[in-house]
Homo-oligomer: A and B are copies of this chain.
Amino acid sequence: MANSKYEYVKKFEEDDRLPPSNWIVVRIDGCHFHRFSAEHEFEKPNDEKALNLMNACALAMLEQFSDIVFAYGVSDEYSFIWKETTVFYQRRASKMLSLCVSYFTSMYVSKWKDFFPHKELKGPPYFDGRVVCYPKSKIIRDYLAWRQVDCHINNQYNTCFWMLVKSGKTEKEAQEFLKGTQAKDKNELLFQQFGINYDKLPQIFRKGSSVYREKVENIVKVDGNGNPVRRMQSEVVVDHMDIIGPKFWSEHPYILKEE
């Protein structure tokens, strides 16, 4: 039996290949994670285990998809930067989006028990995603800066908010209290009222997490004379450095190298 009578329905499929010579960002974001984190009693303002789980999934992404050159995560979101010249699935947007979000989700559920051995998953964690093209590496850096600034703003706010709540305010009162405050006010509040030096908080909270390939020199074997043979190798790492300034990028020029 031929299938030709119905095959015309394939003509409704659109060609969604993304334009060449653009960096491709797939950003995924936890869906209803406010509720999910409450259900699973994540620590506030930051649950380090939950962040480490996110990072482990992102690391698995870079190991699985070699054309992802950088990933940046904060809270329940992660951005994956695909290199400018990737031809992964012919750059079809729906393939890239669905594979990223599905692989990440699969990892998240599979690895859950490694990070929360004493907590059962009470409902399915899932993520939405989007795909955006950026035509220059300079704009990719601005994109990442945008996310890291956001991380900082949110984290500073959340740290204040949850300290106020833990000290006895209701959530509504804490919200009111913080309305209109500036960065300086918030740092002051943390220091004066709670003895917290914001700049001493763990980098993972203040700077988010970056995943990328570091070039490292490894001893790969020992030669006939017993001397170690070293080779430069590439290793996926997670770090929490500043990605707004030029330092990291000038030390890792290969990551966002334009063709």
Contacts and interface: CB of A to CB of B under 8 A. Distances in A.
Interface stretch (A37-45, A47-55, A148-156, A204-212): A148-156
A13 B102 contact: no
Oligomeric state, in number of copies?
Answer: 4
A133 B12 contact: yes
B102 A6 contact: no
Of A20, A98, A121, A150, the most chain B CB neighbours within 10 A belong to A98
Contacts of A101: 98, 101-102, 105
Interface residues of A, number: 60
Binding site of A, secondary structure by majority: helix, strand, loop or mixed? helix
B136 A98 contact: no
Interface in A7-43: 7-15, 19-22, 28, 31
A19 B8 contact: no
Interface stretch (A106-114, A164-172, A192-200, A219-227): A106-114
A128 interface: yes
Interface stretch (A69-77, A138-146, A229-237, A249-257): A138-146
Interface string A108-144: 1110000000000100111111111111100100110
A94 interface: yes
Given A102-B105, A126-B99, A12 B94 contact: no
